[in-house]
Homo-oligomer: A and B are copies of this chain.
Amino acid sequence: MEVYGMNAVLHRAQILVEALPYIQKFSGKIVVVKYGGSTRNEDSTSFFQDLVMMKQVNIHPVVVHGGGPEITALLESMGSQVQFVNGLRVTDHTVLDAASMVLVGKINKQIVSQIQSYGGNAIGLSGIDGKLLLAEKKQSKDVDLGYVGEIKEVNCTLLRGLIEQGYIPVISPLGVDHQGQRYNINADTVAAVVAGALNAEKLVLSTNVAGLYVEENGEKQTISAIGAKKIAEYIASGQIHGGMVPKVQACLEALSRGVQRTHIVDGRQEHVLLLELLTDTGVGTMVTKEDDV
Protein backbone atom coordinates (compact mmCIF):
# COMPACT_ATOMS: atom_id res chain seq x y z
CA MET A 1 0.00 0.00 0.00
CA GLU A 2 1.41 3.35 -1.00
CA VAL A 3 1.77 6.21 1.41
CA TYR A 4 -1.10 8.07 -0.16
CA GLY A 5 -3.46 5.14 0.39
CA MET A 6 -2.42 4.71 3.98
CA ASN A 7 -3.08 8.36 4.71
CA ALA A 8 -6.57 7.99 3.32
CA VAL A 9 -7.21 4.98 5.52
CA LEU A 10 -5.80 6.77 8.53
CA HIS A 11 -8.19 9.63 7.82
CA ARG A 12 -11.00 7.09 7.64
CA ALA A 13 -10.00 5.65 11.01
CA GLN A 14 -9.90 9.09 12.58
CA ILE A 15 -13.37 9.89 11.28
CA LEU A 16 -14.72 6.62 12.67
CA VAL A 17 -13.30 7.37 16.07
CA GLU A 18 -14.68 10.91 16.04
CA ALA A 19 -18.13 9.40 15.45
CA LEU A 20 -17.79 7.13 18.47
CA PRO A 21 -19.30 9.43 21.13
CA TYR A 22 -22.35 10.07 18.94
CA ILE A 23 -22.83 6.36 18.36
CA GLN A 24 -22.40 5.49 22.04
CA LYS A 25 -25.16 7.94 22.93
CA PHE A 26 -27.72 5.78 21.13
CA SER A 27 -26.12 2.38 21.58
CA GLY A 28 -28.74 -0.27 22.31
CA LYS A 29 -31.62 2.14 21.64
CA ILE A 30 -34.50 1.80 19.17
CA VAL A 31 -35.05 4.46 16.50
CA VAL A 32 -38.29 4.29 14.51
CA VAL A 33 -37.90 5.71 11.02
CA LYS A 34 -40.82 6.64 8.80
CA TYR A 35 -39.61 6.23 5.21
CA GLY A 36 -41.72 8.63 3.24
CA GLY A 37 -43.49 7.63 0.12
CA SER A 38 -42.76 10.90 -1.62
CA THR A 39 -39.01 10.61 -1.16
CA ARG A 40 -38.90 7.11 -2.48
CA ASN A 41 -38.45 8.08 -6.09
CA GLU A 42 -35.09 9.69 -5.46
CA ASP A 43 -32.01 7.58 -5.22
CA SER A 44 -32.22 6.21 -1.72
CA THR A 45 -28.95 4.33 -1.64
CA SER A 46 -27.56 6.30 1.28
CA PHE A 47 -30.76 5.87 3.26
CA PHE A 48 -30.43 2.08 3.28
CA GLN A 49 -26.70 2.23 3.96
CA ASP A 50 -27.46 4.38 6.97
CA LEU A 51 -29.93 1.83 8.32
CA VAL A 52 -27.38 -0.98 7.97
CA MET A 53 -24.65 1.15 9.57
CA MET A 54 -26.93 1.98 12.50
CA LYS A 55 -27.69 -1.71 13.12
CA GLN A 56 -23.98 -2.56 12.86
CA VAL A 57 -23.12 -0.06 15.61
CA ASN A 58 -25.84 -1.43 17.88
CA ILE A 59 -28.56 1.16 17.23
CA HIS A 60 -31.81 -0.57 16.31
CA PRO A 61 -33.81 0.99 13.48
CA VAL A 62 -37.41 -0.03 12.85
CA VAL A 63 -38.72 1.16 9.48
CA VAL A 64 -42.32 2.10 8.72
CA HIS A 65 -43.10 3.02 5.13
CA GLY A 66 -45.98 4.57 3.19
CA GLY A 67 -46.80 4.48 -0.49
CA GLY A 68 -49.83 6.57 -1.34
CA PRO A 69 -48.83 7.71 -4.83
CA GLU A 70 -47.98 4.21 -6.00
CA ILE A 71 -51.30 2.86 -4.75
CA THR A 72 -53.05 5.49 -6.84
CA ALA A 73 -50.86 4.61 -9.82
CA LEU A 74 -51.70 0.91 -9.59
CA LEU A 75 -55.41 1.58 -9.22
CA GLU A 76 -55.32 3.83 -12.26
CA SER A 77 -53.35 1.32 -14.32
CA MET A 78 -56.04 -1.22 -13.45
CA GLY A 79 -58.77 1.20 -14.46
CA SER A 80 -60.11 1.73 -10.95
CA GLN A 81 -61.30 5.11 -9.80
CA VAL A 82 -59.67 6.74 -6.83
CA GLN A 83 -61.95 8.63 -4.48
CA PHE A 84 -60.92 11.02 -1.73
CA VAL A 85 -63.17 12.63 0.88
CA ASN A 86 -61.63 15.55 2.76
CA GLY A 87 -58.23 14.38 1.62
CA LEU A 88 -58.76 10.84 2.91
CA ARG A 89 -58.82 7.90 0.54
CA VAL A 90 -62.08 5.95 0.53
CA THR A 91 -60.97 2.33 0.94
CA ASP A 92 -63.22 -0.37 -0.50
CA HIS A 93 -62.18 -3.98 -1.17
CA THR A 94 -60.45 -3.14 -4.45
CA VAL A 95 -58.52 -0.28 -2.91
CA LEU A 96 -57.56 -2.38 0.10
CA ASP A 97 -56.23 -5.14 -2.16
CA ALA A 98 -54.35 -2.61 -4.28
CA ALA A 99 -52.88 -0.95 -1.17
CA SER A 100 -51.85 -4.31 0.23
CA MET A 101 -50.25 -5.31 -3.08
CA VAL A 102 -48.30 -2.08 -3.46
CA LEU A 103 -47.32 -1.66 0.17
CA VAL A 104 -46.57 -5.21 1.24
CA GLY A 105 -45.87 -6.87 -2.10
CA LYS A 106 -43.82 -4.17 -3.76
CA ILE A 107 -42.50 -1.32 -1.62
CA ASN A 108 -41.85 -3.40 1.51
CA LYS A 109 -39.91 -6.04 -0.41
CA GLN A 110 -37.91 -3.39 -2.27
CA ILE A 111 -36.87 -1.84 1.03
CA VAL A 112 -36.07 -5.23 2.53
CA SER A 113 -33.92 -6.33 -0.40
CA GLN A 114 -32.20 -2.93 -0.61
CA ILE A 115 -31.18 -3.23 3.05
CA GLN A 116 -29.98 -6.76 2.36
CA SER A 117 -27.91 -5.56 -0.59
CA TYR A 118 -25.79 -3.56 1.88
CA GLY A 119 -25.27 -6.55 4.12
CA GLY A 120 -28.04 -5.92 6.65
CA ASN A 121 -30.81 -8.39 7.36
CA ALA A 122 -34.29 -6.99 7.19
CA ILE A 123 -37.62 -8.69 7.68
CA GLY A 124 -40.73 -7.22 6.14
CA LEU A 125 -44.03 -7.46 7.96
CA SER A 126 -47.41 -5.92 7.48
CA GLY A 127 -49.45 -5.06 10.53
CA ILE A 128 -51.54 -8.11 9.64
CA ASP A 129 -48.72 -10.62 10.17
CA GLY A 130 -48.74 -12.01 13.68
CA LYS A 131 -51.45 -9.40 14.39
CA LEU A 132 -48.55 -6.96 14.59
CA LEU A 133 -51.00 -4.02 14.46
CA LEU A 134 -54.28 -5.06 15.99
CA ALA A 135 -56.75 -2.53 14.62
CA GLU A 136 -60.38 -1.56 14.43
CA LYS A 137 -62.40 0.52 11.99
CA LYS A 138 -61.68 4.20 12.38
CA GLN A 139 -64.86 6.04 13.22
CA SER A 140 -65.30 9.28 11.35
CA LYS A 141 -68.28 11.61 11.36
CA ASP A 142 -70.41 12.18 8.29
CA VAL A 143 -68.54 9.92 5.91
CA ASP A 144 -67.73 6.21 5.73
CA LEU A 145 -64.14 5.84 4.65
CA GLY A 146 -64.44 2.06 4.41
CA TYR A 147 -61.52 -0.11 5.52
CA VAL A 148 -59.49 2.58 7.24
CA GLY A 149 -58.33 1.51 10.69
CA GLU A 150 -56.75 2.73 13.85
CA ILE A 151 -54.37 0.78 16.05
CA LYS A 152 -55.56 -0.80 19.30
CA GLU A 153 -52.42 -2.75 20.19
CA VAL A 154 -48.90 -3.41 18.90
CA ASN A 155 -47.40 -6.93 19.12
CA CYS A 156 -44.17 -5.77 20.75
CA THR A 157 -43.09 -9.30 21.68
CA LEU A 158 -42.82 -10.16 18.00
CA LEU A 159 -40.94 -6.96 17.12
CA ARG A 160 -38.54 -7.13 20.05
CA GLY A 161 -37.78 -10.78 19.32
CA LEU A 162 -36.83 -9.95 15.73
CA ILE A 163 -34.77 -6.91 16.77
CA GLU A 164 -32.80 -9.02 19.26
CA GLN A 165 -32.13 -11.65 16.61
CA GLY A 166 -30.42 -8.96 14.54
CA TYR A 167 -33.17 -8.12 12.04
CA ILE A 168 -34.29 -4.66 10.90
CA PRO A 169 -38.11 -4.83 10.86
CA VAL A 170 -39.78 -3.08 7.93
CA ILE A 171 -43.49 -2.47 8.55
CA SER A 172 -46.27 -1.87 6.03
CA PRO A 173 -49.11 0.26 7.45
CA LEU A 174 -51.93 -2.26 7.41
CA GLY A 175 -53.77 -3.64 10.42
CA VAL A 176 -56.14 -6.48 11.19
CA ASP A 177 -58.90 -7.07 13.73
CA HIS A 178 -59.75 -10.25 15.62
CA GLN A 179 -62.19 -11.27 12.87
CA GLY A 180 -59.43 -11.17 10.25
CA GLN A 181 -60.70 -7.93 8.65
CA ARG A 182 -57.78 -5.95 7.24
CA TYR A 183 -57.46 -2.15 7.37
CA ASN A 184 -55.38 0.55 5.74
CA ILE A 185 -53.74 2.82 8.37
CA ASN A 186 -51.94 6.15 8.05
CA ALA A 187 -48.20 5.44 7.97
CA ASP A 188 -47.15 8.44 10.06
CA THR A 189 -49.54 7.32 12.77
CA VAL A 190 -48.22 3.76 12.59
CA ALA A 191 -44.67 5.08 13.06
CA ALA A 192 -45.73 7.19 16.05
CA VAL A 193 -47.68 4.40 17.75
CA VAL A 194 -44.99 1.77 17.14
CA ALA A 195 -42.32 4.16 18.48
CA GLY A 196 -44.38 4.65 21.61
CA ALA A 197 -45.06 0.95 22.08
CA LEU A 198 -41.37 0.07 21.74
CA ASN A 199 -40.23 2.91 24.03
CA ALA A 200 -38.15 4.18 21.12
CA GLU A 201 -35.45 6.75 21.76
CA LYS A 202 -36.34 8.66 18.61
CA LEU A 203 -38.96 8.91 15.92
CA VAL A 204 -37.60 10.21 12.61
CA LEU A 205 -40.13 11.20 9.95
CA SER A 206 -38.51 11.43 6.54
CA THR A 207 -40.34 13.88 4.26
CA ASN A 208 -39.66 15.68 1.01
CA VAL A 209 -39.15 19.12 2.57
CA ALA A 210 -36.23 20.48 4.57
CA GLY A 211 -37.97 20.07 7.91
CA LEU A 212 -40.74 22.22 9.30
CA TYR A 213 -40.85 25.84 8.26
CA VAL A 214 -42.99 28.87 8.86
CA GLU A 215 -43.52 31.64 6.43
CA GLU A 216 -42.65 35.03 7.78
CA ASN A 217 -42.78 38.07 5.50
CA GLY A 218 -43.21 35.73 2.57
CA GLU A 219 -39.99 33.84 3.33
CA LYS A 220 -39.74 30.23 4.44
CA GLN A 221 -37.94 29.92 7.75
CA THR A 222 -36.89 26.39 8.67
CA ILE A 223 -37.46 25.70 12.37
CA SER A 224 -34.75 23.68 14.11
CA ALA A 225 -36.73 22.97 17.28
CA ILE A 226 -40.32 23.55 18.34
CA GLY A 227 -42.57 22.58 21.25
CA ALA A 228 -46.16 21.42 21.44
CA LYS A 229 -47.68 24.76 22.48
CA LYS A 230 -46.02 26.70 19.73
CA ILE A 231 -47.20 24.11 17.20
CA ALA A 232 -50.79 24.58 18.29
CA GLU A 233 -50.42 28.32 17.70
CA TYR A 234 -48.86 27.86 14.28
CA ILE A 235 -51.55 25.41 13.18
CA ALA A 236 -54.26 27.79 14.40
CA SER A 237 -52.67 30.68 12.56
CA GLY A 238 -52.24 28.61 9.46
CA GLN A 239 -48.49 28.98 9.51
CA ILE A 240 -48.21 25.19 9.68
CA HIS A 241 -50.63 23.78 7.12
CA GLY A 242 -51.20 21.16 4.46
CA GLY A 243 -49.08 18.03 4.51
CA MET A 244 -47.07 19.26 7.46
CA VAL A 245 -50.02 19.07 9.87
CA PRO A 246 -50.20 15.24 10.00
CA LYS A 247 -46.40 15.10 10.39
CA VAL A 248 -46.37 17.32 13.49
CA GLN A 249 -49.41 15.49 14.85
CA ALA A 250 -47.58 12.19 14.51
CA CYS A 251 -44.67 13.72 16.42
CA LEU A 252 -47.00 14.91 19.19
CA GLU A 253 -48.66 11.48 19.29
CA ALA A 254 -45.26 9.79 19.73
CA LEU A 255 -44.22 12.27 22.43
CA SER A 256 -47.46 11.66 24.32
CA ARG A 257 -46.64 7.92 24.22
CA GLY A 258 -43.26 8.47 25.86
CA VAL A 259 -40.85 8.76 22.91
CA GLN A 260 -37.93 11.00 23.90
CA ARG A 261 -37.26 12.90 20.68
CA THR A 262 -39.10 13.29 17.39
CA HIS A 263 -37.66 14.70 14.19
CA ILE A 264 -38.96 15.78 10.81
CA VAL A 265 -36.12 15.49 8.31
CA ASP A 266 -35.56 15.90 4.59
CA GLY A 267 -35.50 12.44 3.07
CA ARG A 268 -33.91 13.79 -0.12
CA GLN A 269 -30.76 14.70 1.79
CA GLU A 270 -27.94 12.21 1.41
CA HIS A 271 -27.20 10.17 4.58
CA VAL A 272 -29.92 12.03 6.44
CA LEU A 273 -30.19 9.35 9.14
CA LEU A 274 -26.50 9.37 9.99
CA LEU A 275 -26.49 13.18 9.86
CA GLU A 276 -29.28 13.15 12.38
CA LEU A 277 -27.28 10.89 14.70
CA LEU A 278 -23.81 12.34 14.17
CA THR A 279 -24.58 15.99 14.89
CA ASP A 280 -25.20 17.62 18.22
CA THR A 281 -28.23 19.55 17.06
CA GLY A 282 -29.56 17.10 14.49
CA VAL A 283 -30.89 18.07 11.07
CA GLY A 284 -34.37 19.19 10.12
CA THR A 285 -36.87 20.05 12.84
CA MET A 286 -36.98 18.55 16.30
CA VAL A 287 -40.50 18.51 17.78
CA THR A 288 -40.55 18.31 21.57
CA LYS A 289 -43.11 18.17 24.32
CA GLU A 290 -42.02 21.37 25.97
CA ASP A 291 -41.45 24.54 24.01
CA ASP A 292 -38.04 25.33 25.41
CA VAL A 293 -35.69 22.39 25.17
**A residues apposed to B, CB below 8 Å:** 1, 5-6, 9-21, 23-24, 27, 46, 49-50, 52-53, 56-58, 74, 77-79, 97, 100-106, 108-109, 112-119, 121-126, 128-131, 157-158, 161-162, 165, 167, 174, 176, 178-182, 270-271, 274-275, 278-279, 281, 283
Contact = CB atoms under 8 A, between A and B. Distances in A.
A74 B102 CA distance: 12
Copy count, this protein chain = 6
Given A27-B56, A161-B161, A46 B19 contact: no
- Of A46, A97, A109, A115, which is in contact with the most chain B CB atoms at under 10 Å from its CB? A109
A271 B138 CA distance: 35
A71 to B, nearest CB: 11
B116 A50 contact: no
A20 B52 contact: yes
B13 A275 contact: yes
Contacts of A101: 74, 101-102, 105-106
B130 A182 contact: no
Contacts of A97: 106
Contacts of A114: 180
